[in-house]
A and B are shown apart, each in its own frame.
Chain A
Amino acid sequence: ETGVTQTPRHLVMGMTNKKSLKCEQHLGHNAMYWYKQSAKKPLELMFVYNFKEQTENNSVPSRFSPECPNSSHLFLHLHTLQPEDSALYLCASSQPSGSTDTQYFGPGTRLTVL
């Protein structure tokens, strides 16, 4: 596989469920990201990992818990979510270099919280 992959592509869960989103990048990048994209709102950066270490936590509620076991894999563990958490969750990776930090996005997980 190439690029950035995400599973599952669609997820419907109740507010009491626990689920996990998975992301894998095959680009040899050092940095990985979770973004939330809601309708008509900017992409919201949630978490950043660089060389497996978390460098950003953008005031995300604790019901979202990231895990980065290595530079190629990133998880987002979900528990007791709210309906307003329904959105497209995008994983991205990058290899910051000089003046550029191009983000390469996965296809996203469309999450619906009932």
Chain B
Amino acid sequence: QKEVEQNSGPLSVPEGAIASLNCTYSDRGSQSFFWYRQYSGKSPELIMFIYSNGDKEDGRFTAQLNKASQYVSLLIRDSQPSDSATYLCAVNANTGGFKTIFGAGTRLFVKA
């Protein structure tokens, strides 16, 4: 069973701090990795994706991928109360199928 594991949280950080969200996956054949944000009562929306080892930055967000360790993380700098949401890690094997595996999500709470 291919799995994506996340700490359910809640992860609580003060406003302005760096929030670090982590994710591990079991399928070594995974090739693309996504972070989605889901506000309460809303549907998931893409924050960013990464498919090469290393860091990828987009504004206050940085995704980090380590395929050898089967680990992907999301850093949120200068956290804002509006960042409070559930963050879903998703992994796709990209082998011609259309199967993206999602983690259960980490709840993030940014205290003003």
Contacts and interface: CB of A to CB of B under 8 A. Distances in A.
A107 B44 CA distance: 9
A42 B36 CA distance: 12
A68 to B, nearest CB: 13
B17 interface: no
A98 to B, nearest CB: 9
Chain A, interface residues (CB within 8 Å), range: 20 to 34
Given A40-B8, A42-B103, A100-B32, A105 B44 contact: yes
Please provide the 3 A-B residue pairs with the shortest distance between their CB atoms, ordered closest to farther.
A105-B43, A43-B102, A99-B51
B96 to A, nearest CB: 9
Contacts of B99: 45, 48, 56
Interface string A84-99: 0000001000101001
Nearest to B98: A48
B60 interface: no
A103 interface: yes
